[in-house]
Each structure stands twice: as C-alpha cells, then as structure tokens.
Structure 1
Amino acid sequence: MPATTATFRVIGMHCGSCSLLIDDVLEDLPGVRSTRTSVKDELTIVELDTTASSPGDVIAAIDEAGYQAEHIG
C-alpha cells in the first residue's frame, strides 16, 4: 500500500500527556502506520497509508481531541 510521511504543527499541547493523547488518537485512524508527537517542537509526524486516510483526516482527529493542527509537509 502506498504510504507517505506527513508533518503537522500542533497548537495547544502543554505536556507529555498531550502528546501521548494525540498519538493514541491518531493510531486509531485507519492507515496510520506510526506517529511521533513532540510537545517541545509542537509537531507530529505521521506515517500514513494514503489509501485509508488523508492529511485532512489527521487534522480532523487532532482538532476533535481539542488541539489545533496544520499540515506543513
């Protein structure tokens, strides 16, 4: 399956628990192979099967968790 790595800026994280919550939420999305979230860098990097979910799906999941996300690459 085709995969891509996408980077998102995440606003609103305050601690390690925030990054763990985002990783947990994203790992529940279909097609997410891995995710790494950094509070310090305000970024999450997602390896994504593009046939199952899109960057828009990732943003929606992060927003639904109470944070703001922007696809930056």
Structure 2
Amino acid sequence: MSRYTFSVTGMHCTSCGLLIDETLEDLPGVTRSQTSVRAGRTVVDLDEALCAPAQVAAAITAVGYPAQPEVS
C-alpha cells in the first residue's frame, strides 16, 4: 500500500471534493481518498498491484478536474 498526493485544479466547493473521493473509492486498489478543496489536493491510499497512480489522475481528470501526481 502506498500513499500518493495529487494536485487538483478547478475545484470550487465541498461537492467537488466529494465527487472526486467517491469516484476514486470506486477504483480497484484505492482504499482511501481524501480531497481538500482549499489545498487543491487529493491524498490517496493505493495498492499499486491493482491501480497505477496514472489511473487515479486520469479518473480525477475524467470527472472534470485536471490532476497530476505531486513529486516529493
């Protein structure tokens, strides 16, 4: 299990964050998603054997919010 942080743009309210979290928690391998609209970030706990970080970013982007993994 790994934790990834994604920069997310275009969020305006709590509903935006809830949509992202619900979408990601439906992906196989995602055990937790926590989005902060204020910080412009989503933190995801992910089993990389089931889902790649690129798939997470693509899922966020698909619901209307451009996203990319943050480099630490």
Same fold (TM over 0.5): yes
Contiguous gaps of at least 5 residues in structure 2 = none
Cα offset, 1:32, TM superposition: 0.2
- 1:50 aligned residue (41, 45, 48): 48
Question: Considering only aligned residues, what root-mean-square deviation do their CA atoms show, in Å?
Answer: 0.6
Between structures 1 and 2, the one with greater strand share = 1
Following superposition, which runs of at least 4 residues in structure 1 exceed 2 angstroms of deviation? none
Give the TM-score, by structure 1 length. Answer: 0.95
How many residues end up aligned between the 2 structures? 71
1:65 Cα shift?
0.3
CA offset digits 1:8-65 (Å, max 9, x no partner): 0000100000000000000010000101000000000000001000110001100100
Inter-partner Cα distance in structure 1 for 2:18 and 2:6: 15
Tell me by how many angstroms 1:68 deviates.
0.3
- Counterpart residue identity of residue 59, structure 2: A
Tell me what 1:61 maps to.
59
Counterpart position of 2:24: 26
Q: Tell me the TM-score normalised to structure 2 length.
A: 0.96
In structure 1, list runs of 5 or more residues that go unmatched.
none
